Amino acid sequence: MSLLKIKDATLKFGGVVAVDDLSLSVEEGEIYAIVGPNGAGKSTVFNLISRFYQPFSGSISFDGQNLLDRSADQVADLGIARTFQNIELFDHATVLQNLLVGRHRHRKTSMVEELFFAPRVRREELAHREAVEEIIDFLDLQPYRDKMIAGLPYGVRKVVELGRALASGPSLLLLDEPASGLSVEETQDMRWWIDDIRKQMGITVLMVEHDMGLVSSVSDRVLALADGAKLAEGTPAQVQADPAVIEAYLGAGAV
Amino acid sequence: MRIQFKTSYNDDIRLFPDRWTLGVYTTLLVMAFALPLLIGEFYLGEVTNVLIWAIAGLGLMLLTGQAGQVSLGHAAFLAIGCYTNTILIEAGLSFILAFPLAGVITGMVGAIIAIPALRLHGIYLAIATIALSILADDIIVLLDPWTGGVSGKFPDMITIFGLEIERWSMPTRFYYLVLLVTILCTLFYRNLLRSPLGRAFAAVRDSEVSATAMGVHIARTKTKAFGLSCMITGWAGALMGYYAGAFNNETFSLVISITLLMMIVIGGLGSIHGAFFGAVVVAFLPQVLSILKGAVLGGGVAIPGLETGVFGMILILFILFEPMGIYGRWLKIRTWFELFPFARKDMFRRQKSYLKTERLR
């Protein structure tokens, strides 16, 4: 059974159809990429899954549960974590604190216990810290552990955001343009990490990405979107060779 | 240069990260407890005033500095704490029960008031909370049978298990009471900072979108921030009532709300130290001004609006030249000495912030 299933989802902003009768399904353990020109509705699909937007029609289910029954803050509890296209970190906190916010869905202590810092809070904190340290090791973030986000370079922030999503221990990871604005080396690193996230951690990855090099090297299946509708779906090679995709990117008669 | 050598994750969770800090704060605490032996009663009263302001500052700091919600209505919560405490004691409760309860009730009122305010951001929230400050005055007058209205109330002497505490006749005992409450509130604040709720506050402050995506319930977290902040403010209010010896509908005015907000900005937003530094400025400035005025112009000359004018000037200068407040300046000076001679001028310069995701919804 598919892990994530979107069926006939439609979303309109006024007269603009952002997502047009879109269906897709992501299988457990695969890396699924969504590509398409700017404004094709890729990030909107992510915002639908994160429950920031409510679709006009259609259904979204995750792991057999209806996602549309959940509010935006309950999505993380199901095991879906995401990153943002323009990096949404907590700027006035350290890298470590940012990653620890990722553990938020695993907290068990109440407000009163935390006010008095009961022994249980300390035990929990140590466990969270251990989980976060594994992510720090995985992503080589050791030099930045106690640094404020506000002072970090762009590339590092991108990695921290990936780390924060991983810290929540998701079963599905949504990556919104993980390589945008990264240098060639950083993109290479990102490629290995995405590969390892699937292999070592067993996390299913759904990503939106423009860098076709990255997409074709890591993803199992690719979906091409244009104007909110599905153009083509298949292996990276199939999608790249699809005439409709070439037309959407380069215009009619380009081949 | 101080080097921290950490050997376990617990080192990052402890109240004091290393022996040096532990030493510094122990010394500070010992000095605070020995203070009545060192200074006269007048100055002890002034220090008590600083501590009460600092508690109120901690309350607002938790909301504004930590959770990023501006409030210009905190004088109303000071009033609620003060009146609740007095009314509960008049109803026959002992201080040891009435005082904590006054804070908790203020906190609950704050949480309830927060619910409609949750949809507002930044300046709009500030304007909405101004209304609270103004309303408080009228409500106190309207509730005359309980609050004493315009003629006000005079709090009774505090009795804790037979031990009598009064601000004028026993300033030392009152000082110790305030000091204990200050330590407790500081401890609460510090505990929050190192636990999930404190981080959720920071998450809500810096990015609501990604806080939601991480599973933080925005409305619930803001309500908790309001509740906890108002609880601490309520305690400060009750102590203020005792300190003043008498209070009525005009004691907790909008000016107090503005002073509180100014205090935490001058002190340094988002830090415990900031609340204390700000309290020192707010509590001592009137005295320093009147001494200066007496020295320059001689006694008897009245300059209307001098205090407010100087306060405003200080605030503007801080926003222009030191947005991180006194605590920020202190950090810079400390770093300069710690790294000497390697400190660079632009070490604290803010990085340009990158594109933000456009507001969703």
The predicted-structure confidence for B246-270, as pLDDT tens digits, reads as follows 999 999 999 899 999 999 999 999 8
Chain A residues within an 8 Å CB radius of B360: 47, 52-53
Contact call for B196 and A114, based on CB within 8 A: yes
Minimal C-alpha gap between B198 and chain A (Å): 9
Contact call for B203 and A90, based on CB within 8 A: yes
Residues carrying CATH 1.10.3470, chain B = 39-348
- Chain B: residue nearest A78 by CA? B215
Q: How far apart are the first and last CA of chain B?
A: 49
Q: What is the mean pLDDT of chain B?
A: 89
From the number of C-beta atoms within 10 Å of its C-beta (0-12, 13-18, 19+), residue A179 rates as buried
Contact call for A82 and B197, based on CB within 8 A: no
The predicted-structure confidence for A48-100, as pLDDT tens digits, reads as follows 999 999 999 999 999 999 999 999 999 999 999 999 998 999 999 999 999 99
Residue B355: pLDDT over 50:
no
Average pLDDT of B276-294?
90
| Tokens coding A76 | 């993380």
Q: Can you give the pLDDT at residue B332?
A: 87
- What is the rounded distance in angstroms from the CA atom of residue B19 to the CA atom of residue A223? 57
- Residue B61 to residues A197, A252, B132, B274: CA-CA distances in angstroms? 40, 60, 18, 8
Residue A255: pLDDT over 70:
no
Cβ distance B159 to B165 under 8 Å?
yes
How many CB atoms sit inside 10 A of residue B346's CB? 6
Chain B residues within an 8 Å CB radius of A97: 199, 202
Residue A252: pLDDT over 80:
no
Contact call for A81 and B214, based on CB within 8 A: yes
- Chain A: residue nearest B186 by CA? A115
- The pTM for the full model equals 0.91
Q: Which of B200, B214, B361 sits opposite A76 (nearest CB)?
A: B214
DSSP state for residue B62 in the 8-state scheme: I
Residue type, A24: L
Q: What count of CB pairs under 8 Å joins A to B?
A: 135
- What is the rounded distance in angstroms from the CA atom of residue B242 to the CA atom of residue B154? 8
Q: Can you give the pLDDT at residue B212?
A: 95
Model confidence at B346, pLDDT cuts 50, 70, 90, reads low
Minimal C-alpha gap between B241 and chain A (Å): 26
How many CB atoms sit inside 10 A of residue B291's CB? 10
> What share of chain B in percent tops pLDDT 90?
61
Contact call for B209 and A84, based on CB within 8 A: yes
Say whether B327 sits in a helix, a strand or coil: helix
Residue B358: pLDDT over 70:
no
Minimal C-alpha gap between A28 and chain B (Å): 21
Q: Which of B10, B197, B357 sits opposite A88 (nearest CB)?
A: B357
Sequence-distant (≥ 6) Cβ neighbours of residue B108 within 8 angstroms: B227
Q: Which of A73, A92, A122 sits opposite B13 (nearest CB)?
A: A122
The predicted-structure confidence for B294-344, as pLDDT tens digits, reads as follows 888 876 777 888 888 888 899 899 988 888 899 989 988 888 888 877 777
Span B39-348: which CATH code?
A: 1.10.3470
Contact call for B270 and A92, based on CB within 8 A: yes
- What is the rounded distance in angstroms from the CA atom of residue B132 to the CA atom of residue B113? 9
Contact call for A129 and B270, based on CB within 8 A: no
Contact call for B198 and A114, based on CB within 8 A: yes
In terms of CATH, what superfamily is A2-79+170-250? P-loop containing nucleotide triphosphate hydrolases (3.40.50.300)
Q: Can you give the pLDDT at residue B352?
A: 47
Q: Can you give the pLDDT at residue B176?
A: 96
Minimal C-alpha gap between B179 and chain A (Å): 18
Q: Can you give the pLDDT at residue A254?
A: 55
The predicted-structure confidence for A193-235, as pLDDT tens digits, reads as follows 999 999 999 999 999 999 999 999 999 999 999 989 999 999 9
- Chain B: residue nearest A108 by CA? B196
DSSP state for residue B64 in the 8-state scheme: I
Indicate which of A97, A115, A162 best probes the interface with B, i.e. most B CBs within 10 Å of its own CB. A115
Q: Can you give the pLDDT at residue B361?
A: 41
Q: Can you give the pLDDT at residue B343?
A: 74
C-alpha closest to that of B121 among B202, B77, B67:
B67
Radius of gyration of chain A (CA): 19
Average pLDDT of A235-255?
83
C-alpha closest to that of A88 among A101, A103, A77, A70:
A101
Chain B residues within an 8 Å CB radius of A52: 209, 212, 360-361
The predicted-structure confidence for A13-53, as pLDDT tens digits, reads as follows 988 899 999 999 999 999 999 999 888 889 999 999 999 99
Q: What is the mean pLDDT of chain A?
A: 93
Cβ distance B192 to A115 under 8 Å?
yes
Q: Can you give the pLDDT at residue B347?
A: 67
The predicted-structure confidence for A117-132, as pLDDT tens digits, reads as follows 999 999 999 999 999 9
Chain A residues within an 8 Å CB radius of B197: 111, 114
* φ/ψ of residue A231, rounded to 5: -95, -50
Strand partners, A62: A4, A65
- What is the rounded distance in angstroms from the CA atom of residue A170 to the CA atom of residue A76? 8
Q: What DSSP element (H or E) covers A139?
A: none
- Chain A: residue nearest B359 by CA? A52
Minimal C-alpha gap between A242 and chain B (Å): 32
Residue B353: pLDDT over 50:
no
Radius of gyration of chain B (CA): 21
- What is the rounded distance in angstroms from the CA atom of residue A164 to the CA atom of residue B178? 41
Q: Can you give the pLDDT at residue B354?
A: 47
CB < 8 Å & 24+ apart, contacts of B96-104:
B96/B160, B96/B161, B99/B235, B99/B238, B102/B234, B102/B235, B102/B237, B102/B238, B103/B231, B103/B232, B103/B234, B103/B235, B103/B238, B104/B231, B104/B234
Contact call for A92 and B200, based on CB within 8 A: no
Calculate the CA dihedral of residues A207, A213, A216, A217 and round it to 10 degrees.
Answer: -100
Q: Is the ipTM of this complex over 0.90?
A: yes
> What share of chain B in percent tops pLDDT 70?
94
Indicate which of A46, A53, A73 best probes the interface with B, i.e. most B CBs within 10 Å of its own CB. A73
- What is the rounded distance in angstroms from the CA atom of residue B181 to the CA atom of residue B292? 33
Contact call for A88 and B207, based on CB within 8 A: yes
Q: Can you give the pLDDT at residue A38?
A: 86
Q: Can you give the pLDDT at residue A74?
A: 94
Contact call for A109 and B196, based on CB within 8 A: yes
Q: Which of A192-206, B146-160, B238-252, B287-301 has the lowest mean pLDDT?
A: B287-301
DSSP-H helix ranges across chain B? 10-13, 19-38, 41-61, 74-90, 95-117, 122-142, 144-147, 171-193, 196-206, 208-213, 218-244, 254-267, 272-297, 306-321, 325-339
Query: What is the distance of C-alpha B343 from the center of its chain?
Result: 32
Indicate which of A90, A137, A145, A147 best probes the interface with B, i.e. most B CBs within 10 Å of its own CB. A90
Buried b (16+ CB within 10 A) or exposed e, B145-184: eebbeeebbebeebeeeeeebbbeebbebbbbbbbebbee
How many CB atoms sit inside 10 A of residue B212's CB? 24
Domain boundary assignment for chain A = 2-79+170-250
Strand partners, A22: A9
